[in-house]
Structure 1
């Protein structure tokens, strides 16, 4: 896997894997990182790419001192499976 890329023009975090691009759309609202849709190309599904992406995004949010609002079921499920990230999640955001 490659490093996380913050595409500020498209407002998404990306990782490039095997010629494909997986991404999470985002917005910054009130100092919070609002995570929208997560997209993993079909050819990369089932290989842990989505989890790797979300982990990297959450690590980046922590490094920036930002809390996270999840509007993506995949991101929310990831945080529930990895409670060490629960402190980042804004509930009811």
Structure 2
């Protein structure tokens, strides 16, 4: 399952496609030069329970680490995932 990172000046997304259609995505908005806010995570019902949402959060955390960024979240799924896993403590701010 490949995750593609799509970004522009102010927004971005980590996307998984199946048969050319988006089957899962995590979207974010940039907040200044040093952080971004995860505002939405969605996984197709056929993929739920397979850790796909967590893989998207992992991709966002890797992106934050590679670019020395901090993550904030308004998406309930992302907030829970980031709070519950201590491995995100280096990038998760709230």
Q: Same fold (TM over 0.5)?
A: yes
Q: Which residue number in structure 2 is paired with residue 80 of structure 1?
A: 83
Partner of 1:29: 31
Query: How far apart, CA to CA, are the structure 2 residues paired with 1:79 and 1:69?
Result: 9
Q: CA RMSD in A?
A: 1.7
Higher strand share: 2
Task: Give the TM-score normalised by structure 2.
Answer: 0.81
Aligned length: 89
- Offset from partner CA, 1:45-77 (integer Å, 9 cap, x none): 111111111111111111111100111111111
Asked whether the 8 Å contact 2:14–2:59 carries over to 1, the reply is no
Q: CA deviation at 1:44?
A: 0.8
**In 2: Cα distance, 1:5 partner to 1:64 partner:** 17
Matched, 1:53 2:56: yes
Distance in 1 (CA, whole Å) between partners of 2:91 and 2:7 is: 21
Q: Look up the SS of the partner of 2:23 in the other structure.
A: strand
Partner SS state of residue 46, structure 1: coil
Deviant stretches of 4+, over 6 Å: none
Unpaired segments ≥5 residues, structure 1:
none
